[in-house]
Amino acid sequence: MSIPTTRSTSDFAGVIALAEQIRNGDRTAVDVVEEHLARIDAGNPELHAFNLVMADSAMAAAATIDGQIAAGNPVGVLAGVPVALKDNLCTHGVETTCSSKILQGWKPPYNATVVDRLAAAGAIGIGKTNLDEFAMGSSTENSAFGPTRNPHDPSRVPGGSSGGSAAAVAAGFAPFALGSDTGGSIRQPAALCGVVGVKPTYGTVSRYGLIAFASSLDQIGPFTHSVADAAVVLEAIGGHDPMDSTSLPRPFPSVSGVLDRGVEGLRVGRITDLPTGADDDVNGRLDAAFAALEAAGATIVDVQVPAFTFGLTAYYIVAPAEASSNLSRFDGVRYGLRVDAPSTGEMMAASRAAGFGDEVKRRIMLGTYALSAGYYDAYYGKAQRIRTLIAQDFAKAYAQVDVLMTPTAPTEAFHFGDKGDNPLSMYLCDLYTIASNLAGHPGISVPYGVGDEGLPIGVQVLAPALGEPVMFQVAAELERLASK
């Protein structure tokens, strides 16, 4: 099921349009779910966007929604709209694996907060999507259950780690999906698959029920076909959650109301000391985006963010360190895979050796080393100081501009195996996304044309913490300009 690269996001009904059709009685939720299940049945064997399709529960939920509408009862803003859920979000009684053998068959006894909030808004979970194991990767090649393929060209990766979610939306398997973003794992696959992907401000969307990779960096966000759809989804899942100690005690910023304001008078920052590494066609699309915004009334301001270039280095100390701690819970004792052995210690070692893939083991070892006695200050402590420096440099830049704009990913989607033998090359896929995770700031990737090989390219808009309104304002204008 190869999707032509000329396909427009308007070829698939979006979240807002579908919800309105269902509420108005123009379509039934059952029909909508059946349509998407048929697409999944036809295309998922090739693309492998889903680890698990929840057909029976989705149809039952759709019938319930239709019954509520027929009875004249109020329904949520997302009523009847199917959603694909990254397979590191806990779903009560439904297998949640993180695409790892160590959790294969595990069924959580509770829902993630975002899953409950989607259900309250009437959205219907249609399946659990594939990912790089424990969200560690940039290509979805690290899944224990096989890779996901890019719908625009199945010989290429969809990006990662949320590649299954990005591919599901790009292929029309679901109008929207949720992913998690630790260093770019929503925005980078969104760029490679030609959809919108958002990482909100850290703490604005609950992480309760997200199986942790790096707790101070992880954040949940949506994939959609449009900026407006992303705004509606974030408003449904965002806001304070007492179950998450890092949740900000405030509502999610209102963003839907700013999408038609344009960019007249806004200051858009161009980072002059941005790390090099993007392909010429990617830089060309970024330059075109700057020119289009300027023509639309924005002022382009050259700024510097010197510490941006250190983001990749700091991230690959902080994130593995937190992962080594978080993944220590998977020991073969309480849940998940257990490999029998003569002693408890041998059982734990054997279970972890059999259950974790190579990339997860690599990051656990890197993190354990960085946290070990004698190296903590030299590595982890220094990385945290760089993290502070990045936040300070961002603050100086945002004193001069309203948003910053960069490439999302350095390249178009690459072929399977191109970077698998070179971890550093793979890590560089997140060159432009990592800094905002370290600072806790929001970022959005918006499709902005295609590159030399006819594959999607995304432009990234960054904003200061809680700057989602102005970020969405600029992103919506970019989307309009890209369609001209």
Q: Could you give the residue numbers annotated as active site?
A: 86, 161, 185
- 213: tokens are 């990779």
Name the H helices within 296-374.
311-326, 344-355, 358-371
- 140: tokens are 């979805």
- 237: tokens are 């899942």
CA 84 from chain centre, in angstroms, equals: 12
Contact between 226 and 198 under an 8 Å Cβ cutoff? The reply is no
Asked if omega into 254 is within 30° of 0 (cis), the reply is no
- 439: tokens are 């600072």
Q: Which helix (H) or strand (E) holds 185?
A: none
φ/ψ of residue 344, rounded to 5: -60, -45
Closest Cα to residue 36, out of 83, 77, 69, 76?
83
Integer Cα distance of 473 and 316 in angstroms: 32
Residue 385: CB atoms within 10 Å: 11
Residues 6+ apart with CB under 8 A from 204: 238, 239, 248, 252, 253, 442, 466, 468
